Amino acid sequence: MARGQMLAITWMNLQSLPARWGAALVAVVGIGGVVMVLTATLAMAQGFKAALDFAGAEDVAVVVRGGSSGELSSNLLGPEATVVADAPGILHDGAGPIASPELYVLVDLPMRVSGTAANVPFRGVGARGFAVRDHFRILAGRLFTPGLYELVIGRGALGQFRGLKLGGVVRFGNQNWRIVGVFEDGGSVTESELWSDLHVLQSTYRRGNSVQSVRVRLASPAAVAQVAAALKADARVNVSVASERAFYAEQSKALVAIVTILGTTISIMMGIGAIFGALNTMYSAVAARTREIATLRAVGFGAAPVVASVLVEAVLLGLAGGLLGGLAAFVAFDGIAASTLNFQTFSQLTFAFMVTPRVFVTGVCYAVLLGLLGGLLPGIQAARLPITAGLRST
């Protein structure tokens, strides 16, 4: 019976909504704005995660010098790289172990949007570089020719930096490099990089035969422990071994944490503002109907259905705001590419905003919560106002 009462009162409240559309719109738009920001932030974090997750194969391991926090601070001499490649647990094919020694340097390029210089990773790879990356694919042009000053650029880098275009020439390390192709790598961080032939890059930057890292394809994801143990026991090398997924997660941990914390903080601050908007709306909704509510209660309706009906209305307004904000974020941000400096690797990370269903639903749930909080006090006030006072109000 209480539910019937609540439905009846709620239905009446909603019918009077058109008469108070101004206040209702303020609440819906206020909550919608907050949800839009929240959704955009979550979409950004989601895009980060995707960029990092995609890069992270479980059956590929990254080997760097022991104690180095990333490729940049690592250094492995040629013989050390050979020892790494010979470790047990690495998959072999007709040409031997599948291991890719890679050189990693940073070069300067102006950002397309701001024009300020950013660090762009420039990677030298040998023939094995493609055997340890499942998603690598040339999108336009062709691969660089070994031995020549040619490079291919990730599609993320293409979008983010000035001076990069297919067929163009860029100057790094006192050499002119021709851009002969654009590649993708499943949306991973690799797409922010420039790639050239390992030996050409080594000689350009006078690195001899040293490299920064060795990527190896594992016999199985579990073999990472085997490789690590074998290399730890080997006195000729001092390296650390991690699956590619773990390696990237570690590399961007701080960045993801900051984006998430910042986004959540902003959303909570704005959410508090939106709660006041919802409060205001529901207070005016209640105030406008003080006499009606008192009449209902005089007739014998209970206090609880009155509170519940106010809450239901607030939640519906929140829901409308949430859908509106989520859709706006989807239209405005989904798929948009952006980049940021990963200060752990000192390189620019490109990623896309991803408004996934989960992100969308999270935003809508937050909106409903805001509505609920905004309706609570006015609902309780409506129920507690003495009936005789309510009946006298105009």
Partner 1 sequence: MDGPLVEVRGLTKEYRRGDEVVPVLAGLDLSIARGDYVALMGPSGSGKSTLLNLLGGLDQPTAGEIRIDGVSIGELGSNELAAWRARSVGFIFQMYNLLPVLTAEQNVELPLLLTSLSKPERLARARAALALVGLSDRARHRPRELSGGQEQRVGIARAIVTDPLLLLCDEPTGDLDRKAGDAVLDLFDALNREAGKTIVMVTHDPRAAARARRILHLEKGVLAREEG
Burial of 377 per CB tally in 10 Å (0-12, 13-18, 19+): middle
Decide: helix, strand or coil at residue 372. Answer: helix
DSSP states of 317-343: HHHHHHHHHHHHHHHHHTT-EEEEEET
- Candidate list 272, 298, 331, 361; residue touching partner 1; CB under 8 A: 298
Binding to partner 1 in span 258-297, by CB under 8 A: 291-292, 295-297
Distance (Å, whole) CA 151 – CA 178: 6
| 166 binds partner 1, rule: CB under 8 A | no
Residue 390: CB minimum distance to partner 1, A: 10
Instruction: Say if CB 177 and CB 169 are below 8 A apart.
Output: yes
Residue 9: CB minimum distance to partner 1, A: 9
- For residue 214, how many C-alpha atoms fall within 13 Å in the half-sphere facing its CB? 31
Stretch that binds partner 1, among 94-102, 300-308, 352-360, 372-380 (CB under 8 A): 300-308
| 386 binds partner 1, rule: CB under 8 A | yes
| 235 binds partner 1, rule: CB under 8 A | no
- Candidate list 95, 233, 235, 299; residue touching partner 1; CB under 8 A: 299
Q: Per this entry, what is the length of the chain?
A: 394
- Candidate list 25, 303, 365, 380; residue touching partner 1; CB under 8 A: 303
Distance (Å, whole) CA 174 – CA 165: 19
- Candidate list 144, 283, 301, 360; residue touching partner 1; CB under 8 A: 301
| 5 binds partner 1, rule: CB under 8 A | yes
Closer of 18 and 94 to partner 1 (Cβ): 18
β-strand partners of 346: none
Number of residues forming the site for partner 1 (CB under 8 A)? 22
Stretch that binds partner 1, among 72-80, 209-217, 225-233, 298-306 (CB under 8 A): 298-306
Residue 12: CB minimum distance to partner 1, A: 6
| 115 binds partner 1, rule: CB under 8 A | no
Residue 22: CB minimum distance to partner 1, A: 17
Residue 306: CB minimum distance to partner 1, A: 10
| 3 binds partner 1, rule: CB under 8 A | no
Instruction: Say if CB 98 and CB 90 are below 8 A apart.
Output: yes
Residue 299: CB minimum distance to partner 1, A: 5
Distance (Å, whole) CA 272 – CA 227: 52
Binding to partner 1 in span 51-110, by CB under 8 A: none
Stretch that binds partner 1, among 10-18, 43-51, 152-160, 203-211 (CB under 8 A): 10-18
User: What Å distances lie between residue 276 and 27, 281, 294, CA to CA?
Assistant: 9, 8, 25
DSSP states of 21-59: HHHHHHHHHHHHHHHHHHHHHHHHHHHHHHHHHHH--SS
Stretch that binds partner 1, among 59-67, 182-190, 218-226, 384-392 (CB under 8 A): 384-392
Q: Which long-range contacts (CB under 8 A, 24 or more apart) does 294-297 make?
A: 294/385, 294/387, 294/388, 294/389, 294/390, 294/391, 294/393, 295/390, 295/391, 296/9, 297/387, 297/390
Residue 292: CB minimum distance to partner 1, A: 5
Distance (Å, whole) CA 202 – CA 267: 47
Residue 371: CB minimum distance to partner 1, A: 21
Closer of 218 and 317 to partner 1 (Cβ): 317
DSSP states of 173-242: TTEEEEEEEEEEETT-GGGG-EEEEHHHHHHHTT-TT-BSEEEEEBSSTTHHHHHHHHHHH-TT--EEEE
Residue 315: CB minimum distance to partner 1, A: 20
Residue 257 tokens, joined: 């944490």
Stretch that binds partner 1, among 8-16, 195-203, 274-282, 367-375 (CB under 8 A): 8-16
Stretch that binds partner 1, among 1-9, 231-239, 275-283, 332-340 (CB under 8 A): 1-9
- For the chain, how are helix, strand and coil distributed in percent, rounded to 5? 55, 25, 25
Q: Which residues bind partner 1 (CB under 8 A)?
A: 1, 4-5, 8, 12, 15-16, 291-292, 295-303, 386-388, 391
